A and B are shown apart, each in its own frame.
Chain A
Amino acid sequence: MSMISFARIQAVLLKEFVQMRRDRMTFAMMVGVPIMQLIMFGFAINSDPRHLPTALIDRDHSTFSRSIIAAVENSTFMDIAYRPTTEDEAESLIREGKVNFIFIIPENFGRDLVRGENPQVLMVADATDPSATSGAANSMKEIVRSGLQRDLSGALSAMADRPPAVDVVLHKRYNPAGITQYNIIPGLLAIIIAMTMTMITAVAITREKERGTMENLLAMPIKPIEMMTGKIAPYVIIGYVQTVIVLLASEFVFNIPIVGSLLLLFGAVSIYIIVNLMIGFLFSSLAETQMQALQMTFFLLLPQILLSGFMFPFLGMPRWAQYVGEALPATHFMRLMRGIMLKGADGVDLLSSFWPLGVIMLIVGTLAMIKYNETLD
């Protein structure tokens, strides 16, 4: 009786193998998740980001300003992505999150430099994500100095040796103290909602399938849209509760000021909650079991955390990873949250993040309606 039976161990082992083979979804996850993680951690993530997009305003157009710009681009920290003509345009770009830096070379910069008047250049850094911009910001003085090295030769060589010929003024915008929580907390709301909302509706339909109650529901005269609305509406309220908790903690525990409009914020939250609930509903129509629905949720959550700009600077990722990121609702919601909470961005600034979220909602909603099976076929 106390003997260990290898026949029984073998019986259990064989049964597990057979069942694993039948459950293709789980098997695919076991292989798919490590591959996805290898790709994302191995290639996409970059904690020392380079080539961050920068808006340049050159009001000088002298040899010297061109040399500095060349040095900036050669540094690989920054790419000149936009050349706005006014500061307002530049400000708008940084609020929308399209650039990390604004670099301004003032009028008469070259003339003042030659006169030895120690002119200033202005570097505005989006410090919402301190880790993204600190590298470039800290090296700026050295970049400018090395850029001018060659120009300050001959008659001007004395100036090159007497640093600093140029004064680099650095403005850290939105998070001047470089507090990590400023970046994490608004983004965390995106992750919390993505995780819980998707999960809760993902099991909503599969639970009915597993318990056999789906057959009863399908025999009743209910339309797919009625089913989806009824299934997700209760959780919208839960999503709001989560939002309020995060915002209160943000304000009173982490002392992160909410600069922008609360109304806009709740507008963004509403769309985002519904998008995630619809994704969950779609998953539960595709999956046969609750287990499969949860696996799909998990599978989507990984890139939402890693490629959305939550943990690592979005603009520091390679181009392909940014494209993937653009397709994720968390990416756009995170921009909205950081834009509203930290930058006080207004509706016009945020349009570029609002419309992708709306498009994603339409696509997911349509897919969910198409994939919802009204019969047992």
Chain B
Amino acid sequence: MTNVETVIDVKGLTKSFGDKIVVDDFDLKVPKGSVYGFLGPNGSGKTTTIRMVCGLLTPNAGSGTCLGWDVIEQSEKIKTQVGYMTQKFSLWEDLTIRENLEFVARMYEVENRKNRVDEALEELGLSARSHQLAGTLSGGWKQRLALAACMIHDPELLLLDEPTAGVDPKARREFWDTIHELADRGVTILVSTHYMDEAVQCDYIAYIAYGKKLIDAPSGELVDRVGLYTWRVEGTGLSKLTKELEGAEGVEHVARFGTALHISGIDEGALKTAVSRYFDLPNLNWTARKPGLEEVFIHLMTGTEDNFQ
């Protein structure tokens, strides 16, 4: 059952709480061994979608399979092969690191439990501190422990809900290295994030807003699909220029990157007309460039302000 090429294949997933529709007619296909990124503002339905996939929430409508099992009828089976890392640290703070791992291992009936836990502690680099209470760990370590816990039963699918929130950049980088190693081993990973530098590392990206998927594509193709144009300008007096360009016809958004501005818009001609008026100003260096993912996300987000209502 678990040797399927499309690990998550759901259609029309819908979830509402009261009369508020949180996830609306959501389709999702995640190929085996890929890293699939969920990007979107707060309250856009990322967590709710993940929870529906792993059986924590029952969809109001929709159907499909996860690891070949029916997401509505067979969530018991799905749970045995899924590792779910919650947004908030949800291991037991009053248990030690080892006790937490052993508990999770028992829940999944892991064979050779003791060896597996020792192995996990080794990989984590926490063997020496295995008797420390989990509650005393720092944010970065808690996150690594949580990942180790949801990997203890060697799941086929990992669901990571904003795993790097509140974690320092070095730990984030290491975390993503681990993610890629796991993907190379054939584990499928669905990860939600706020960070664009993380989204860029995914094989596929879905942008979610208002509970709807606005776009999804392999990360290499996303930029082309959006059809955005960008000019880059370097130099001095950029603050004044930003104010002038914002709201100009053809300019959709102006974003600052260090000593440069990226000015983007959908209409290539109108954008050029808007920026060309400043070509003659001294101390400025203009170049047309292919927009990066950053510009694309800003573009997508501009249309969808934080939609937590």
A213 CB contacts on chain B under 8 angstroms: 90-92
Task: Give the residue of A215, A218, A221 whose beta carbon is less than 8 angstroms from that of B108.
Answer: A221
Task: Give the residue of A211, A212, A215, A219 whose beta carbon is less than 8 angstroms from that of B79.
Answer: A219
Given known A212-B88, A213-B91, contact A219–B54 (CB-CB < 8 A): yes
Binary CB contact string for chain A from 212 to 226 against chain B (1 if under 8 A, 0 otherwise): 111110111111000
Indicate whether A375 reaches chain B with its CB closer than 8 angstroms: yes
Compute how far the CA of A221 lies from the CA of B51 in the bound complex, rounded to whole angstroms: 14
Task: Give the residue of A212, A218, A222 whose beta carbon is less than 8 angstroms from that of B56.
Answer: A218
Given A214-B90, A215-B56, A377-B57; 6 other pairs, CB 8 A cutoff: A213-B92, A215-B90, A219-B56, A221-B76, A375-B56, A377-B58
Compute how far the CA of A4 lies from the CA of B49 in the bound complex, rounded to whole angstroms: 51
B interface secondary structure, majority: loop
Asked if A220 and B104 sit within 8 Å, CB to CB, the answer is yes
Indicate whether B229 reaches chain A with its CB closer than 8 angstroms: no
Indicate whether A376 reaches chain B with its CB closer than 8 angstroms: yes
Scoring A213, A219, A376 by chain B CB atoms within 10 A of each residue's CB, the highest score goes to A219
Chain A count of residues within 8 A CB distance of the other chain = 15
Asked if A375 and B55 sit within 8 Å, CB to CB, the answer is yes
Asked if A221 and B56 sit within 8 Å, CB to CB, the answer is no
Compute how far the CA of A375 lies from the CA of B58 in the bound complex, rounded to whole angstroms: 7
B107 CB contacts on chain A under 8 angstroms: 220-222
A223 CB contacts on chain B under 8 angstroms: 76
Task: Give the residue of A212, A214, A216, A375 whose beta carbon is less than 8 angstroms from that of B57.
Answer: A375
* CB-defined A-B contacts under 8 Å, sample of 9: A211-B92, A216-B84, A216-B86, A216-B91, A218-B56, A219-B84, A221-B79, A221-B80, A223-B76
> A-side interface residues toward B, CB under 8 Å?
211-216, 218-223, 375-377
Indicate whether B294 reaches chain A with its CB closer than 8 angstroms: no
Asked if B93 and A211 sit within 8 Å, CB to CB, the answer is yes
Q: Which 5 A-B pairs have the closest CB atoms?
A: A216-B90, A221-B79, A219-B84, A220-B107, A221-B80
**Chain A: minimal CB distance from B99 (Å):** 13
Indicate whether B296 reaches chain A with its CB closer than 8 angstroms: no
**Chain B: minimal CB distance from A299 (Å):** 28
Q: Which residue of B lies closest to A223 (CB)?
A: B76
Scoring B51, B77, B90, B107 by chain A CB atoms within 10 A of each residue's CB, the highest score goes to B90
A376 CB contacts on chain B under 8 angstroms: 51, 56-57
Compute how far the CA of A296 lies from the CA of B180 in the bound complex, rounded to whole angstroms: 49
**Chain B: minimal CB distance from A76 (Å):** 58
A377 CB contacts on chain B under 8 angstroms: 57-58
Indicate whether B89 reaches chain A with its CB closer than 8 angstroms: yes
Asked if B56 and A220 sit within 8 Å, CB to CB, the answer is no
Q: Which residue of A lies closest to B80 (CB)?
A: A221
Q: Which residue of B lies closest to A218 (CB)?
A: B56
A221 CB contacts on chain B under 8 angstroms: 76-77, 79-80, 107-108
**Chain B: minimal CB distance from A234 (Å):** 14
**Chain B: minimal CB distance from A231 (Å):** 13
B209 CB contacts on chain A under 8 angstroms: none
Compute how far the CA of A219 lies from the CA of B75 in the bound complex, rounded to whole angstroms: 9
Which chain B residues (102-160) contact chain A, with CB distance < 8 Å? 104, 107-108
**Chain A: minimal CB distance from B97 (Å):** 15
**Chain B: minimal CB distance from A369 (Å):** 16
Scoring B56, B82, B84, B88 by chain A CB atoms within 10 A of each residue's CB, the highest score goes to B56
A218 CB contacts on chain B under 8 angstroms: 56
B88 CB contacts on chain A under 8 angstroms: 212, 215
B89 CB contacts on chain A under 8 angstroms: 212
Compute how far the CA of A214 lies from the CA of B86 in the bound complex, rounded to whole angstroms: 11
Which chain B residues (35-92) contact chain A, with CB distance < 8 Å? 51, 54-58, 76-77, 79-80, 82, 84, 86, 88-92
Compute how far the CA of A214 lies from the CA of B51 in the bound complex, rounded to whole angstroms: 13
**Chain A: minimal CB distance from B93 (Å):** 7
Asked if A212 and B58 sit within 8 Å, CB to CB, the answer is no
A375 CB contacts on chain B under 8 angstroms: 55-58
Compute how far the CA of A211 lies from the CA of B54 in the bound complex, rounded to whole angstroms: 21
Asked if B86 and A215 sit within 8 Å, CB to CB, the answer is yes
A219 CB contacts on chain B under 8 angstroms: 54-56, 79, 82, 84, 86
Compute how far the CA of A215 lies from the CA of B51 in the bound complex, rounded to whole angstroms: 9
**Chain A: minimal CB distance from B18 (Å):** 12
**Chain B: minimal CB distance from A236 (Å):** 20
